[in-house]
Amino acid sequence: MRSRTSLCNRADLRVDFTRFAPLWALYTVGLAAGIMMCLPQCRTAYYTATTLSDLAGVMAPVQFGYALVIAQCLFGYLYDTRLCYAIHAMPQTRPCRFRSHVLAGLLFAWIPDLLGAGLCLLIAPEMEIAVAWWLVSVCGQYLFFYGFAVLSVLCAGNRVGGVLVYGIGNFLPLLAAWLAGAVFQPLLFGITVPTEPFSIACPLVQLTQEDYLTIVAPRVDAEFNRILEAMYPNGERMGYLALCCGCSLVFLFLAGRLYRKRNLEAAGELLAVKALRPLFLLVFTLASGALFQLFASVFAGSTAYGYLLAGIVVGYFVGRMLLARQVNVFQLRAIPGIAAICAVFFALLLLTGLDVTGIIRSIPAEDSIASVSVIPYARNNGQGVTSEDPGDIQAVLALHRGEVDRWKSWRQENRGISGLLTETYQRNLDSKDSETIWLTLRYRLKDGRTLEREYVVDFHSQGGSIAEEFLNRPENILGVKDRSELRTLAFQEVEIYGNWECGTYCTVDDVQGLLNAIYDDCEAGRYRLRYLEDLEDTEYVSHIYFRLDDDETIFVYVYDSQTATASFLKDHVRPFPEDRKNS
Amino acid sequence: MLDVKNLTKSFGTFKALDDLSMHISEGTVYGLVGPNGAGKSTLIRCLTGVYRPDSGTMLMEGQRIYENPGIKSRIGYIPDDIFYFPSATMEDMRSYYRNTYPRFDNALFNRLFEAFQLPRKSPIRRFSKGMQKQAAFQLAISTRPDVLILDEPVDGLDPVMRRQVLSLILSDVAERGVSVLVSSHNLRELEDICDHVGILDHGKMLLERSLADMQGNTVKLQMVGTVPENLPVLHASASGRLNTYILRASQEQVQAAMAGVDCPYYDILPLSLEEIFIYELGGADYAVKDILM
C-alpha cells in the first residue's frame, strides 16, 4: 500500500506486529496457559461460570501492566531523538501514525483475547454466554488501561516519566485514601473519612473485583455441587467498565491532540508537556510524603507526622531532580516551592485539628432528626438498633454530647501540638477493649440527609450506659423488634459451640424455642455483651451462630446470667449431625 | 524549488534560527556551511518536516512542507546520525520504504546492491558506520526524491565509496534535475560538487551566493607594500616584507587598484571555500584564536 493521508498506515502496523511479536506472543501463550490451568478442572457449569468471572478479575492487573509495556514499546520512539527525527521525516501525518500505533496496541491484546475466548469455547462449548461476557470484560479492561497508558506515555518525554505518570495516575486515589486515613483521620474526632469514594475512583481496584457475572445457584446436587440456575452480567461492574471505556476514548482523544502538538525536541525530558511539570512536582511531593508515612507505619509501627514531613521534603527534591535531570537542585530558588507546599499542607492539618469549621463539635438539633441508629462496629456485637422514638433520639443525643464534651475537656487538659495531633488515637490506644465499645451513631435527618459519627464509648460513662441499653435490645441481638418477627427468620443452620456433655459442636431442633429464650433474656435486661465479662462475675456458657438463608449470620454469646437461654440450651442441645458437618 | 522565508525556531529561550531566509533552485547542489552550533541541523530538520517552526514559511513548489505527506514523499533525507529499526535488514527496510514512499524504485534499489555490495539479510545494526551510511543512501536514492537533503553525507566512507556516492548524487542531479542540500564540514569536498553556498552563523544566513560568485568576489592579495585604501580588507597578515590581504573584491577590481600603486611585487590568488568560510566568519567574530597552552 502506498502512503496516503488515510486512517492508518499498513506499513507501520506490519512493523509494529513484527518488531513486538515476542510481547504479544508471550501474552497469548500466558493467557492460553491460564485458561488451560483453570477451566478444564471445572466439574459443572456453575464452576465454569464462577471461574470465568474470577478470571476476568484476575486479568485486570495483568492488563494494567501489559498496557503500559505495549504503549511504551509502540510510542517509545518519541523518547529517542534519533529515531524520533528519522520517523517524523517520513511522509506521514502525525494523526495517521498515531492511529496506526493505537490500533496495533489494541490488537495486541484483543486478538489474543479472542483466541482465548475460542479456547474457552472448545473446553466448555455450552458456556457461550459466559465466555462472551468474559471477552467483553477483558477487552474493556484493556481498552481502559491502554488508553490511559498512551496518554501517560505522550505526557512524558522518557520511559521513567511514562511509568511515573501512569503509576501515579492509577494509584492516586489510593494514595489520597491513605493521606486522608493516616494523616487527616487522627485529627477528626468522631468522623470517619469514607474510603469508598477513593476506592470507586480507582479503576484498578474496581476492575480487579471478581464479580463480573452474577451467578444464581441456590441448590446443590447429590454430590454437593452447586447447580447453576441463572447467570447474567453484574450490572454495577459492567456499568463501571463501560464508564472506564468511555473515559479511555477521552484519553485517546487527548493523547492524539498531544501528539499533534508535541515538540519532538522534548525527547529525553521527564515530561513532554511543560504545563504538567508543576502539577507533577506537587503530586509527586505529596505522594512521597504519603509513602514515607506508609512505610513508617508498616515497618516502624509509627504514624508520627515527622515521617510525612521528611517524605514531603525528600519527594520535592527528588521530583526536581527528575524534572531537571540533574542532581544539583539544592538551590535557594527551590526553597519557596517546598516552603509553600509544607505551609499549605500543614496549615490544612492544623485547621482540621483545631476544628475551625466546627464539624467535630456539631450536634444536630433534636427537631431536625427523623430517626437514630446505634450500630456496633463488629458484627458479633449485634446488628444495631434504629428508632424514631423521641426518648431514644434524646438518649442518643445525650450520648453524642457526652463524647464531644469528653473531647473538649481532653483538649483543654492537653494543649499544644501533641494534644491536637494524637488525641483520638491516644484515647483509643489507652482504652481497654473490654471496657469500651466502638459505635456508629447515625442520624437520618428530616431533610433527607444522613449524619454519622463513630466513637469508642467507655461503658463506665453515662454514654456507655445509654449504649448498653440500646445494644441489649432484641433488635440488636436478633435483628427483630417484636417477638412475632422471630418466625420470619429463616435459617440454614444453627451451630452451638461450648463444653457440652454431648460435645463442643452442637445444635438444637427447636430453633424457635431458642430464639424465644434469647428474646426473653433481652426483654428482661439479662442480656450482656461479652466485653463485660471482666466487670461482672459471669461465666461463659456458649456462643451460637445462626446462619440465615441469605448467607448472613447472627452471632450470640451466652453467659450464665442469661438464665432463659442457658437453661434452654442445657435441656435441648444435641450433637451436630455428621452428614451436615461438611456442607 | 525550496523557499524559506523568515524562518524562526526557538528552544525555550534559545533562538536556533533567527529570521532566516534562503532559496534552493531546481537542479542545484546547495552547500550549507557554518560553525558548530550555527543551526544547520535545526534548519535541516525544519526542511524535512521534523520540527514545526515558530514563524516563517518553508515551501516546496509553493506548498508547505510540515505535515504534508505528498511533499515529504518527494524529499529524501540522510541524517548525520542514522537510526534503523532494531534488527531490521535491508529487505525489511526496503519493504517499509516501499510502503511509505509512493515513488520507491525497486529496480534501482536492486541495482544499487551491486554498487554498494551490502548484505541483504543481515541486521543493519551490525553494519559498520560506513556501511550504514551506504544503506541510508541506497534507501534514500531509491525513493526517487526531487530534493535530497544530506547531513555530513560522506563522513565515515572510504575514499572510493565517497567518490561513488558523490558521483551518484551528481548523476541524479544531471539526469533528473534533483536539488541537493548538503551540510558538511568537509569544505574541500563540498567545493567540488556545490554550485551554491550558504554560510550560516548564530541562526542567521550570513552569506548566500553561487560558489563562482563567492570565489570571484573574494581574493587573496600577496604584495610587498601597503594595500590601496579603496579595497575592502577582510583580513591582513604579514610574513617579513610580504603582506597577505584577503579582500572582498573581484580580481579585476584589485588589478585596477594596483595599477596605480608602485609595488615591487604583488600576486592575486583565488580563495578556496574553506578560506572564504574562515575569513567571512572571522568578520563575524568567529576567527581562529591563538590559545596559550
Q: Where is the domain boundary, A320, A341, A360? A: A360
Across the interface, whether the CB atoms of B70 and A91 are under 8 A apart is answered yes
Q: Is the CB of residue A274 less than 8 Å away from at least one CB of chain B?
A: no
| Residue A328 and residue A374 in one domain | no
Q: What value does the CA radius of gyration of chain B take, rounded to a whole number of Å?
A: 22
Q: Which pLDDT band, with edges at 50, 70 and 90, does B116 fall under?
A: confident
Average pLDDT over residues A186-207: 88
Of chain A, the percentage scoring pLDDT greater than 70 comes to 92
| Residue A394 and residue A411 in one domain | yes
Strand partners, B253: none
Number of C-beta neighbours around residue B100 at 10 A? 23
Give the integer Cα–Cα distance in Å for A516 and A569: 12
Model confidence pLDDT, tens digit, residues B270-280: 888 777 777 77
Q: Judge whether A436 lies within some domain.
A: yes
Model confidence pLDDT, tens digit, residues B1-50: 889 999 999 988 889 999 999 999 888 899 998 888 889 999 999 999 99
Q: Judge whether A451 lies within some domain.
A: yes
Of chain A, the percentage scoring pLDDT greater than 90 comes to 45
What is residue B224's three-state secondary structure? strand
A379 pLDDT higher than 80: no
Between chain A and chain B, how many beta carbons pairs sit less than 8 Å apart?
73
The DSSP 8-state label assigned to residue A300 in this structure reads I
Query: Distance from CA of residue A29 to its chain's centroid?
Result: 31
Highest mean pLDDT out of A193-197, A321-325, B150-154 = A321-325
Q: Considering only CB atoms, which chain B residues are within 8 Å of A8?
A: none
Q: Is the CB of residue A377 less than 8 Å away from at least one CB of chain B?
A: no
Model confidence pLDDT, tens digit, residues A511-532: 889 999 999 998 888 876 655 5
Rounded to a whole number of angstroms, the distance from the CA of A265 to the nearest CA of chain B is 8
Measure the CA dihedral A309/A315/A321/A324, to 10°: -100
Give the amino acid at B19.
D
Give residue ranges of B with CB < 8 Å to any A CB: 11, 45, 48-52, 67, 69-73, 75, 77, 79, 81-83, 85-87, 92, 95-96, 99-102
Closest A-chain CA to B104: A2
What is residue B108's three-state secondary structure? helix
The pLDDT assigned to A4 comes to: 47
Q: How many residues make up chain A in this entry?
A: 583
- CATH superfamily for B2-210 is P-loop containing nucleotide triphosphate hydrolases (3.40.50.300)
The pLDDT assigned to A381 comes to: 66
Query: Distance from CA of residue A36 to its chain's centroid?
Result: 30
CA A257, A258, A263, A265 torsion-angle sign = negative
Q: Domain locations in chain B?
A: 2-210, 219-270
Q: Which three cell numbers stand for residue A367?
A: 427537631
Q: Is the CB of residue A249 less than 8 Å away from at least one CB of chain B?
A: no
Q: Considering only CB atoms, which chain A residues are within 8 Å of B50?
A: 84-85, 88-89, 264
Q: Is the Cβ–Cβ distance between A285 and A179 less than 8 Å?
A: no
| Residue A37 and residue A83 in one domain | yes
| Residue A265 and residue A138 in one domain | yes
A420 pLDDT higher than 60: no
Q: Considering only CB atoms, which chain B residues are within 8 Å of A84?
A: 50
| Residue A279 and residue A262 in one domain | no
Q: Is the Cβ–Cβ distance between B106 and B98 less than 8 Å?
A: yes
- Strand-strand pairing, A369-376 and B242-247: unpaired
Interface probe with A: pick from B44, B47, B83, most Cβ of A within 10 Å: B83
Give the amino acid at A242.
A
Model confidence pLDDT, tens digit, residues B207-265: 888 888 877 788 888 889 888 888 888 888 888 888 888 888 888 888 888 888 888 88
The residue segments making up the domain with residue A121 are: 10-178+195-270
Model confidence pLDDT, tens digit, residues A465-500: 898 889 888 888 888 888 888 887 777 788 898 888
A107 pLDDT higher than 90: yes
The pLDDT assigned to B273 comes to: 78
| Residue A377 and residue A496 in one domain | no
| Residue A234 and residue A330 in one domain | no
The pLDDT assigned to A190 comes to: 87
- Strand-strand pairing, A226-227 and A230-233: unpaired
Q: Is the Cβ–Cβ distance between A59 and A138 less than 8 Å?
A: yes
Q: Cell 441448590 appears where?
A: A219
Phi-psi region of B22 (alpha: psi -120 to 50; beta: other; left: phi over 0): beta
Give the integer Cα–Cα distance in Å for A312 and A318: 10
Average pLDDT over residues A56-79: 95
Q: Considering only CB atoms, which chain B residues are within 8 Å of A1?
A: 99
The pLDDT assigned to A419 comes to: 58
Q: Judge whether A559 lies within some domain.
A: yes
Q: Which three cell numbers stand for residue B40?
A: 544547520
Give the integer Cα–Cα distance in Å for A267 and A76: 10
- Residue A77: exposed, middle, or buried by beta-carbon count in 10 A (0-12, 13-18, 19+)? buried
Lowest mean pLDDT among A177-186, A194-203, A335-344, B106-115: A177-186
The pLDDT assigned to A244 comes to: 96
Average pLDDT over residues A75-86: 90
Closest B-chain CA to A78: B50
Average pLDDT over residues B96-117: 89
Average pLDDT over residues B149-170: 80
The pLDDT assigned to B264 comes to: 85
| Number of domains making up chain A | 4
Closest B-chain CA to A10: B99
Q: Is the Cβ–Cβ distance between A310 and A293 less than 8 Å?
A: no
The pLDDT assigned to A91 comes to: 92
Number of C-beta neighbours around residue B35 at 10 A? 17
- Nearest residue to A75 (alpha-carbon basis) of A136, A2, A19, A144: A19
Give the integer Cα–Cα distance in Å for A178 and A82: 42
The pLDDT assigned to B17 comes to: 92
Q: Considering only CB atoms, which chain B residues are within 8 Å of A96?
A: 69
The pLDDT assigned to A528 comes to: 67
User: Please, what is the average pLDDT of chain B?
Assistant: 85
Strand partners, B291: none
Across the interface, whether the CB atoms of B72 and A94 are under 8 A apart is answered no
The pLDDT assigned to A1 comes to: 41
The pLDDT assigned to A298 comes to: 82
Lowest mean pLDDT among A347-356, A458-467, B105-114, B165-174: B165-174
Give the integer Cα–Cα distance in Å for A288 and A509: 59
| Residue A65 and residue A206 in one domain | yes
Give the integer Cα–Cα distance in Å for A272 and A277: 9
Top pLDDT among A487 and A172 is at A172
The pLDDT assigned to A248 comes to: 97
Across the interface, whether the CB atoms of A11 and B96 are under 8 A apart is answered yes
Of chain B, the percentage scoring pLDDT greater than 90 comes to 27
Closest A-chain CA to B97: A11
- Residue A577: exposed, middle, or buried by beta-carbon count in 10 A (0-12, 13-18, 19+)? exposed
- Residue B72: exposed, middle, or buried by beta-carbon count in 10 A (0-12, 13-18, 19+)? buried
A583 pLDDT higher than 70: no
Q: Judge whether A431 lies within some domain.
A: yes
Q: Is the Cβ–Cβ distance between A184 and A352 less than 8 Å?
A: yes
User: Please, what is the average pLDDT of chain A?
Assistant: 86
Q: Is the Cβ–Cβ distance between A472 and A385 less than 8 Å?
A: no
A151 pLDDT higher than 90: yes
What is residue B136's three-state secondary structure? helix
| Residue A114 and residue A262 in one domain | yes
Q: Judge whether A290 lies within some domain.
A: yes
Q: Which pLDDT band, with edges at 50, 70 and 90, does A458 fall under?
A: confident
Cβ-based neighbours of B68, under 8 Å, separated by 6 or more: B49
**Per-residue three-class SS string for A19-43:** HCHHHHHHHHHHHHHHHHHHHHHCC
Q: Is the CB of residue A21 less than 8 Å away from at least one CB of chain B?
A: no
Q: Is the Cβ–Cβ distance between B212 and B252 less than 8 Å?
A: no
| Residue A279 and residue A266 in one domain | no
- Nearest residue to A308 (alpha-carbon basis) of A326, A327, A291, A329: A291
Instruction: Give the helix, strand, coil percentages of chain B, each rounded to 5.
Output: 35, 30, 35
Q: Is the Cβ–Cβ distance between A314 and A292 less than 8 Å?
A: yes
| Residue A333 and residue A460 in one domain | no
Angle formed at CA A290 by CA A289 and CA A294, multiple of 5 degrees: 120
Give the amino acid at A302.
S
Q: Is the ipTM of this complex over 0.90?
A: no
Q: Which three cell numbers stand for residue A102?
A: 493505537
The pLDDT assigned to A433 comes to: 54
Give the amino acid at B51.
Y
Give the amino acid at A561.
S
Across the interface, whether the CB atoms of A2 and B99 are under 8 A apart is answered yes
Q: Where is the domain boundary, A270, A289, A305? A: A270
Q: Which three cell numbers stand for residue A38?
A: 483453570
Q: Which pLDDT band, with edges at 50, 70 and 90, does B163 fall under?
A: confident
Interface probe with B: pick from A1, A3, A9, A13, most Cβ of B within 10 Å: A3
What is residue B221's three-state secondary structure? strand
The pLDDT assigned to A221 comes to: 78
Cβ-based neighbours of B234, under 8 Å, separated by 6 or more: B218, B246, B247, B248, B279, B280, B282, B283
| Residue A235 and residue A318 in one domain | no
Give the integer Cα–Cα distance in Å for B89 and A412: 79
Q: Is the Cβ–Cβ distance between A527 and A509 less than 8 Å?
A: no
